[in-house]
Every structure is written in structure tokens, then in C-alpha cells.
Amino acid sequence: MSLVRSDIGRLLQYKLCLLRFKELGVNTIFSYNLGEAAGVTAVQVRKDFSVYGIKGRKRGGYNIDTLLIELNNIFGNSRKNIVVVGIGNIGKAIIQYNERFVKKNLHIVAGFDIDPSKQNKSYGVPIYPVEKISEVIKNNNVSTAIIAVPFQVAQELCNILISAGIKGILNFAPIILKVPDEIIVDNINLSNKLEGIIYNINL
Amino acid sequence: MSLVRSDIGRLLQYKLCLLRFKELGVNTIFSYNLGEAAGVTAVQVRKDFSVYGIKGRKRGGYNIDTLLIELNNIFGNSRKNIVVVGIGNIGKAIIQYNERFVKKNLHIVAGFDIDPSKQNKSYGVPIYPVEKISEVIKNNNVSTAIIAVPFQVAQELCNILISAGIKGILNFAPIILKVPDEIIVDNINLSNKLEGIIYNINL
DNA sequence: TTTTTATTGTATTTATTTTCACAAAAAATT
DNA sequence: AATTTTTTGTGAAAATAAATACAATAAAAA
């Protein structure tokens, strides 16, 4: 299993900050300003750009439109289809979040649940029985799935997703999924996040 | 702003895995088994334990009950009260998750929202207007808050929370919050998580 | 009892990430 | 036109994290 590199997380944060600056009518930015907004040092910003071959102008800072083009070259801006497995509290919330993902060209195209009563309801995205996972993923060119099911069934659904061709998983189930090396997994364990914060408070 | 150390995240994962093993009736575990379950190497497990002075028995592995006691000594097991600010999609999902947090002695004691219609509804946790933040936090000995509001108002609410005595924040708003050094913040940006996974898939 | 085997515990090495230091460039000032 | 100031860009150093290697120990087998 591969993990998501930390500099990639920073570049995505820069992209987000730059879009906000652009909306405010800013054209040019210094590493110091971007670092301030992104919560990192100015050197970290310049080093990150340096690694990816992104150039500014000495004493002139960086042009925001140019940076956004460079970042789009790195991340691509083609449409990405996503599915959500498990329409409980978290799964439902994520599906209802879809309109914001769409702005980044991330499209939740389907949800899956074993509960037939969930399958009737529309949250703006069609909900299918889990038996349809393979079919829907293949027909919609879906590369990425969000798992939001109880941990007891998470591995089983993970296996089904990978058989169906899923390459990346955002996993909310509190369990470490066993996947082949080439599959990307990122875990969000809310209890552990909270416990980690509380540990650091009391340090 | 302090970040949550990565070895702490691993220790919490070990704790979770150990609880599951215990439920299955396992008494003793080897670093290899725990590493397998937690998604890390056996050496990493032993090294982590070594750093925190946790001892096993040569060739005998680790006693699970002993490990859990040691881990509880590190993390404490006193009751921790938490509030959620913003009862939108994510905030509502988290509140409805409360019963699972309670098992870890994490208690969501209140939610806050500006929308009065949200304040009537009960999701198992009382919802107050944001004007009550300071009062509720002080009366309930709350150390930790979850921010799930639109990014445009996140910093403002963050400031209110800190004035009210909050020491740690789990932030779902897609913005880097400015806080004093002693305040602990952990960010979850769902779009960035997904974009990071997709970047790594196409690498 | 002695030897072999399995496992922990940790010092050392290697790899990765971040910070420091400063030269190079360009704009602003004198 | 020369000087000063500001900011980028990056090699080198420092800090942090992870992997390797192996001694120490205790259980199991001979």
C-alpha cells in the first residue's frame, strides 16, 4: 500500500489558497504570503516549487495564474468519478457534499448500501445495492472510492472494489485495509484524530 | 500551532487493534501480528514501544492486557467533553456518531449553529445558537471542538472557541486556522484528500 | 543438560524532510 | 549610473523518521 506524500498535500493546499487569492483579485504573491495562508514557512513554499520546477521572478514574487496553471499540470484537471460505499451518517454527509467536490471536477456518481430503504432515497446521487458495485464502477470509469461502512465489513467491500478496478480508496472505517501495493489508501479515523488532539493538549 | 505527532497516531492504532484482538479472546501478541494489523512493520511496533518504555518478553511477545494498561497510562482514560460547531452535513454526521465516541469516553455534549431551525432538532445532542458557545464550553469543561462550518466563518468561530477556553480543534473547514502556539489543530480537508489519492493513482 | 530456535530491544545506518545560509537577480532608491 | 533593498532559488547542514543488523534472552527441542 502506498501512502500520499506530504509535499503533495502542501501543493494542494497552495492551490486552494491561490484560488482564494485570485477570487479576491490578487495577481501576484510572494512566498511569504502564500506560506502564511497555507500554514508553512516561506522557504518551504519555495523549496516545494523548486522541486517541481515552478519558477517565480526574483524580487517580483509569483504570478498566481501561472502558478495555478503549473499546479493544474501537476494534478490534472480532467473529470474524476468517485463512488461512496456505505450510506450511513458519514456516507450520506459526503454525498450531500458533492456540489462542492464538483467545483474541483470530482464527481460522486453513485452510492452503495445493503439497506434497500436507502436505495429509494435520492440525495442527489443514485444509491444502488452493493451487488451493483462492479457494474456501476466499470460503466462509469470510476477510479476512486470512499469507504464508509462498519469496520466488520470494510475489508470485504474493499476487495470487491479492487476487483471492480478501483485504484484509490479514502477509508473512514476504523481498520487498516489489506490491499495490493499499487492501490492507494488514505485513512481517516475520527476517534483517533480526536484522541490524538487530546493527547497533545495534555502534553 | 502544534501538530499531532505521527508516532502518537500509530500508538492509537495499536490500541484499537489490541482491543479487537482482546475481543477475539487473544491474550498474547507478537510485534509481527500487531504490525500486520496496524499496517506497519514489526520493528516499527517494537521501536515505538521501546520509545515509550513498554516492555514485552523475549520470545514470549506482549501481553495484551498489559499493553492496554500501558497505552491507557499514556493516553489517559478520563472522560473528555467535545462540542461540534456547525450542524451541516458533516457536523450532523459527527453528532450522530456520538455513540461510538462514547465507547472511547469521548462525549459530544453540544452542537452549535446559527440556523434556529437546527436548534430545535435533536440528534441525541442538544443544539444551541452560537451565542451560547462560551457559556456551554465553560459549564461543561470542554477542551476540544470540531469545526464544521463554511470556510468563510471558520476563523471567526475558531477565535470564539479559543476565547472560551478550547485547547484543541479538529477542523473540517478548508482553511488553515490562525491560532496561538499552544492550541492544537488537526485539519481534515476532504477535497484535498481525494485529490491527493487521485494524484498518487496516476503517478 | 545442551543446543537450537524465535523473538525482543536497541545501537547504528540509511533515507527523508526541513531549515539554514547565501548567491543571484531584479526592482527601487539615491 | 551606482547603490541599496527585496525576494527567489538552491546547495549544504541539521533534524527527524525508518530500516537494518545483531546481541540478549527465554522458550523449545534434542
| Each residue's pLDDT tens digit, A56-100 | 999 999 999 999 999 999 999 999 999 999 999 999 999 999 999
pLDDT recorded at residue B3: 40
Is B144 in contact with B167 (CB distance < 8 Å)? Answer: yes
For B16, the domain range is: 6-75
Last residue of a domain, one of A37, A57, A75: A75
Spatial distance between the Cα atoms of B38 and B35, rounded to a whole number of angstroms: 5
B199 and A144 within 8 Å at the Cβ level: the answer is no
What CATH number does residue A28 fall under?
1.10.10.10
Helix, strand, coil percentages (3-state) for chain B, rounded to 5, are 50, 20, 30
Q: Is A60 near strand D, with its CB below 7 A from some atom of it?
A: yes
**Which among A2, A16, A7 has a CA at the least distance from the CA of A187?**
A2
- CA dist B10 and B24 (Å) reads 21
Nearest CB neighbour to B196, from listed A4, A96, A201: A4
Instruction: Report which residue is nearest nucleotide C21 when distances run from CA to C1'.
Output: A43
In terms of domains, do A155 and A60 share one? no
Residue type, A122: S
Checking if the pLDDT of B16 tops 50, the result is yes
Residues in chain A: 203
- A125-148 pLDDT, tens digit each: 999 999 999 999 999 999 999 999
Q: Which of B75, B91, B116 is the last residue of a domain?
A: B75
| A1 pLDDT above the threshold of 50 | no
Q: What is the DSSP string of B58-105?
A: TTTBEEHHHHHHHHHHHH--S-EEEEEE--SHHHHHHHHTHHHHHTTT
* Residue A67 and residue A94 in one domain: no
- Same domain for A70 and A87, yes or no, is no
What ipTM was estimated for this complex? 0.96
For residue A202, being part of any structural domain is answered with no
What is the model's pLDDT at position B88?
A: 96
Long-range contacts of B128-133 (CB under 8 A, 24+ apart): B130/B85, B130/B157, B130/B160, B133/B83, B133/B85, B133/B157, B133/B160, B133/B161, B133/B164
Residue B183 and residue B103 share a domain = yes
Query: Is the distance between the Cβ of A36 and the closest atom of strand D smaller than 7 Å?
Result: no
Task: Give the C-alpha separation, A33 to B80, whole Å.
Answer: 37
Nucleic strand C near CB of residue A57 (< 7 Å): yes
Q: In CATH, what number is assigned to the domain containing residue A98? A: 3.40.50.720
Q: B177 and B93 share a domain? A: yes
Instruction: Indicate if A96 and A153 belong to the same structural domain.
Output: yes
- Give the pLDDT confidence of B26-55 residue by residue, as tens digits: 999 999 999 999 999 999 999 999 999 999
How many domains does the structure of chain B reveal? 2
